[in-house]
């Protein structure tokens, strides 16, 4: 019996996505890239779909063709070198890189995202003014340009909810996120109204955990649970912290966070009850 194919790690998937992006930015087809580098077209396809890790000389040939700078070259070389390792902590950087960050790239490819938020409304459901106030408050040393770059990136992310087929989003939110007035009363009221409108979409499920539910397993912090259409693309857990972006992909981690999310869904209000609470909080502002 043939051995079971191993699912690509998050690092290998990220490397593949970056190589596809670089080739497209260079305005090259896969066939043209193959002709210019001597890399077999089938091999190039496997590399760009995370089915194979490129040999270092193959990676260097591609990076030379795409005229990649030294900083990006080091980043991609490290990804390739560590491509078989599970889990990934990306150190925090204050500036948003020109290319999509890793999470945005995975979110764009995902079939569904299950998100738990403890203190803030998830990015895909934020208004522009709420996002701006949140980013400015969270990054007090950021310049106006840096803030606006992050706001634009966050607003662009919302396109996954209306593309075809749209991302399926299931949000469980702690009541604390509704009660914290971010950006002032008017901004927060508009945010709650937007949350109510967004929750009406057929691909969005919204549930609220009220203060009365007491202690629950999500109190330690927010996380996102992504899954993908391709059976070879394993589910991912994403945790955003001050230390950096943490990706988890081991079977044990996936199982633990799946159980946590199921528990949160069980203690949360129904979507109808949740919407009623949001409307009530908005009316109190």
What residue ranges of the chain have pLDDT lower than 50? 1-5, 94, 97-100
pTM of the predicted model, to two decimals?
Answer: 0.75
Query: For 163, which DSSP code?
Result: S
pLDDT digits (tens, 9 = 90+) for 128-143: 999 999 999 988 988 9
Looking only at Cα atoms, what is the longest distance across the chain? 66
In this prediction, residue 3 carries a pLDDT of: 44
Query: For 218, which DSSP code?
Result: G
Q: Which residues neighbour 140 within 8 Å (Cβ) at sequence distance 6 or greater? A: none
Alpha carbon distance 13, 51 (integer Å) = 9
Alpha carbon distance 111, 109 (integer Å) = 7
**Burial letters for 17-42: b for 16+ Cβ neighbours within 10 Å, e otherwise?**
bbbbebbeeeebeeeebbeebebeee
Alpha carbon distance 94, 92 (integer Å) = 7
What's the start-to-end Cα distance of the chain, in Å?
64
Closest alpha carbon to 76 in 12, 132, 131, 136: 12
Residue range(s) of every CATH 1.10.260.40 domain in the chain: 10-85
In this prediction, residue 86 carries a pLDDT of: 59
Q: Sort 252 into a burial class: Cβ within 10 Å, 0-12 / 13-18 / 19+.
A: exposed
Fold annotation for 89-284: Endonuclease; Chain A (3.30.870)
Alpha carbon distance 225, 206 (integer Å) = 15
Alpha carbon distance 194, 130 (integer Å) = 11
Domain spanning 10-85, CATH architecture: Orthogonal Bundle (1.10)
Residue range(s) of every CATH 3.30.870 domain in the chain: 89-284
């Amino acid at each position: 019996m043939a051995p079971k194919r191993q699912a690509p790690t998050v690092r290998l998937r990220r490397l593949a996505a970056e190589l596809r992006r670089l080739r497209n930015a260079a305005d090259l087809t896969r066939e043209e890239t193959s002709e210019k580098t001597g890399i077999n077209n089938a091999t190039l396809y496997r590399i760009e779909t995370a089915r194979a890790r490129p040999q270092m000389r193959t990676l260097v040939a591609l990076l030379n063709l795409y005229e990649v700078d030294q900083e990006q070259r080091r980043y991609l070389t490290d990804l390739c070198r560590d491509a078989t390792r599970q889990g990934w902590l990306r150190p925090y950087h204050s500036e948003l890189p020109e290319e999509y960050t890793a999470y945005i790239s995975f979110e764009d490819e995902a079939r569904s995202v299950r998100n738990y938020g403890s203190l803030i409304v998830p990015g895909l459901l934020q208004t522009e003014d709420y996002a701006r106030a949140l980013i400015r408050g969270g990054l007090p040393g950021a310049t106006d340009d840096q803030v606006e770059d992050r706001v634009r990136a966050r607003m662009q992310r919302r396109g996954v909810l209306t593309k075809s087929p749209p991302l399926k989003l299931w949000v469980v939110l702690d009541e604390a996120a509704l009660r914290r007035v971010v950006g002032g009363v008017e901004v927060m009221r508009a945010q709650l109204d937007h949350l109510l409108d967004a929750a009406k979409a057929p691909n969005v499920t919204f549930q609220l955990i009220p203060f009365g539910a007491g202690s629950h397993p999500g109190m330690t912090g927010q996380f996102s649970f992504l899954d993908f259409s391709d059976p070879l693309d394993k589910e991912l857990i994403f945790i955003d912290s001050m230390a950096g972006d943490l990706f988890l992909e081991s079977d044990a981690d996936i199982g633990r966070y799946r159980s946590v999310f199921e528990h949160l869904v069980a203690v949360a209000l129904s979507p109808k009850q949740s919407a009623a609470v949001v409307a009530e909080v908005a009316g109190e502002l």
